[in-house]
């Protein structure tokens, strides 16, 4: 829960805006990150995507292992851009999915071994969710892996939009980010359907209301 993540520390230290991030970073155990970190430490010259506002900690850690990093802040792009600029058959506004993908997930032909997706899919407009997963599938190498977190409910302080920073241990650092509203909660079945084209699926239990999954291409 967000209360467990931030607890009294957020009361003692009122968050101050810092380039899209606010407040202290709080450690949260992550079985998914622990498992993926082993691959990153064993591999060489892996190509990675980190989804979210720029995290120097993530960039420094990944590049220190000899990996390349591509940044994609899809939630920021989706929630602040004017993407309902088409008309449907009834003349009503429609989502311009192709323009969004071109803006946010144009990789210039790059292919990736590791995707740190975090909770991004929970905050995207519904029209973007499946196309984003499909674009990632197209851009991920065989046996490439996605680390994704999913909220299991849509109410409560733990649903606040957060940025995740990696560590060299089994924890990630959680930090409040721009207050974009959560759009949905995922069940195990809905995650499996969304990633049906992928070959592997490994779930990690968590004590809070966030499920962790590693999906393999």
pLDDT tens-digit map of 16-41: 344 568 889 999 999 999 999 999 99
pLDDT at 205: 79
- Give the per-residue pLDDT at 19: 54
Rounded CA-CA distance 103/173 in Å is 28
Decide if pLDDT at 180 tops 90.
yes
For residue 191, what is the domain's CATH number? 3.40.50
Residue range of the domain that includes 111: 2-216
At 5 the pLDDT is: 40
Name the β-bridge partners of 70: 49
Q: How many domains does the chain have?
A: 1
Q: pLDDT of 44-65, one tens digit each?
A: 999 999 999 999 999 999 999 9
Residue 7: pLDDT above 50? no
Tell whether the model's pLDDT for residue 91 goes beyond 90. no
Cβ count near 87 (within 10 Å): 10
- pLDDT for 69 beyond 60: yes
pLDDT class of 93 with cuts at 50, 70, 90: confident
CB–CB of 118/166 below 8 Å?
A: no
What does pTM read for this prediction?
Answer: 0.88
Strand spans (E) along the chain? 17-18, 21-29, 47-51, 68-72, 86-87, 93-94, 112-118, 140-151, 162-166, 171-177, 200-204, 210-216
Task: Give the CA-trace dihedral at 159, 162, 166, 170, to 10 degrees.
Answer: -20
Give the span between the Cα atoms of 51 and 74, in whole angstroms. Answer: 7
Rounded Cα distance between 149 and 9, Å, is: 24
Taken in order 169, 40, 122, 161, the sign of the CA dihedral is: positive
Cβ neighbours for 60, distance < 8 A, ≥ 6 positions apart:
none
């Amino acid at each position: 829960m967000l209360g467990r993540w931030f607890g009294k520390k957020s009361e003692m230290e009122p968050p101050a805006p810092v380039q899209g991030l606010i407040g202290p970073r709080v450690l949260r155990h992550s079985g998914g990150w622990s498992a993926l970190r082993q691959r990153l430490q064993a591999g060489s010259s892996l190509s990675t995507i980190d989804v979210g506002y720029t995290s120097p900690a993530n960039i420094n850690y990944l590049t220190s292992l000899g990996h390349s990093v591509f940044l994609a802040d899809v939630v920021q792009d989706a929630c602040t851009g004017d993407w309902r600029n088409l008309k449907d058959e009834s003349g009503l506004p429609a989502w311009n999915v192709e323009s969004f993908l071109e803006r946010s997930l144009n990789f210039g032909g790059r292919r990736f071994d590791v995707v740190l997706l975090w909770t991004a899919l929970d905050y995207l407009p519904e029209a973007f969710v499946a196309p984003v997963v499909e674009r990632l599938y197209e851009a991920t190498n065989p046996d490439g892996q996605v680390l994704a977190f999913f909220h299991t409910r849509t109410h409560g302080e733990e649903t606040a939009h957060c940025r995740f920073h990696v560590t060299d241990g089994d924890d990630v650092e959680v930090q409040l980010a721009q207050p974009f509203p959560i759009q949905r909660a995922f069940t195990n079945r809905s995650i499996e359907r969304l990633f049906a084209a992928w070959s592997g699926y490994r779930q990690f239990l968590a004590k809070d209301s966030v499920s962790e999954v590693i999906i393999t291409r």
